[in-house]
A and B are shown apart, each in its own frame.
Chain A
Amino acid sequence: GQNIDQPTEMTATEGAIVQINCTYQTSGFNGLFWYQQHAGEAPTFLSYNVLDGLEEKGRFSSFLSRSKGYSYLLLKELQMKDSASYLCAAMDSNYQLIWGAGTKLIIKP
């Protein structure tokens, strides 16, 4: 079957760095997405990886290892506004997104 695993909740301190891991199993693979979702709002796109390696975009970076079925989202210089759920989603061979349950990130001052 198809499955996405990510931690349910993480806590970090303002100004610090946090890494949110995601492992996936899909029928075929056409890329790995990260979305941010604030409470009561729709998800917003953060990153897309289809090749192995690290993609850096400002304070956020995303990493992919296709051979390991593994990705992580790295958030640097954490700000209080980064408190949100972070959704990992893998695109299968039918170009359909398989969603993880999301990681709720709590930022403490």
Chain B
Amino acid sequence: GAVVSQHPSWVICKSGTSVKIECRSLDFQATTMFWYRQFPKQSLMLMATSNEGSKATYEQGVEKDKFLINHASLTLSTLTVTSAHPEDSSFYICSAKGGSQWEWQFFGPGTRLTVL
């Protein structure tokens, strides 16, 4: 149990375009979802926390107008990187919390974004 999927697994886009990444909890209801970014050989950096039906809470230094998060249901959260630039190229990982093992965060497989 506790499976989290992410789509797409990898994406290459041109500078200035927008990219949407989906995160789904497949077998449990995720009351909270987290979006992380990880640059090569660096630790996970929390970008934002989203609770179903409410606005996401962004970490300091993360532009909410650039990284749009929508947590429309208990099983789906989306991250849209608007007007992507090469410096946004990174590994984006979502995690979800909920169900009986409420303390644990279960991670999606990640999305590797490359902006040309």
Interface residues of A, Cβ cutoff 8 Å to B = 30-31, 33, 35, 40-45, 48, 50, 87, 91, 95-97, 99-102
* Residues of the B chain whose Cβ atoms lie less than 8 Å from the Cβ of A45: 104-107
Is the beta-carbon distance between B43 and A100 smaller than 8 angstroms?
yes
* Contact A42/B104 with A100-B43, A101-B42 known, Cβ cut-off 8 Å: no
How many Å lie between the Cα of A56 and that of B60 in the bound state? Answer: 37
How many Å lie between the Cα of A33 and that of B46 in the bound state? Answer: 16
* Residues of the B chain whose Cβ atoms lie less than 8 Å from the Cβ of A100: 43
Shortest A103–chain B CB gap in Å is 11
9 more contacts with CB within 8 A, not counting A33-B105, A95-B103, are A40-B112, A42-B93, A42-B107, A42-B108, A42-B110, A50-B103, A96-B46, A97-B105, A99-B44
B98 touches A (CB below 8 Å): no
B49 touches A (CB below 8 Å): yes
A-B contact count (CB 8 A): 40
Chain B residue with Cβ nearest A100: B43
Is the beta-carbon distance between B104 and A87 smaller than 8 angstroms?
no
Is the beta-carbon distance between A41 and B43 smaller than 8 angstroms?
no
B8 touches A (CB below 8 Å): no
* Residues of the B chain whose Cβ atoms lie less than 8 Å from the Cβ of A102: 43
